[in-house]
Amino acid sequence: MTTNEVSLLCNCGNEIIVKVTADEEYSIVCPKCGQEYRFTGASALRWGSRSA
């Protein structure tokens, strides 16, 4: 994954990788089960840098 990619693990076990920018809002739907996830790029990038 690149620096601006975020990996989400859906409740169904499917991994979703999204390329994000800090100034955008995202609404991602799992292609396997239809579960929706909403987040901002800034929060996802900030969280990702703490977990590295």
Confidence at residue 2, expressed as pLDDT on a 0 to 100 scale: 54
Q: Is the dihedral of CA 8, 13, 14, 15 positive or negative?
A: positive
pLDDT at 48: 57
Q: Which residue has the higher pLDDT, 35 or 4?
A: 35
Q: What is the predicted pLDDT for the residue at 44?
A: 80
Calculate the CA dihedral of residues 40, 20, 34, 7 and round it to 10 degrees.
-110
- What residues contact residue 24 under an 8 Å CB cut-off, 6+ apart? 40, 41
What is the reported pLDDT for 18?
92
9-50 pLDDT, tens digit per residue, is 999 999 999 998 888 999 999 999 999 999 988 888 776 554
Its pTM stands at 0.71
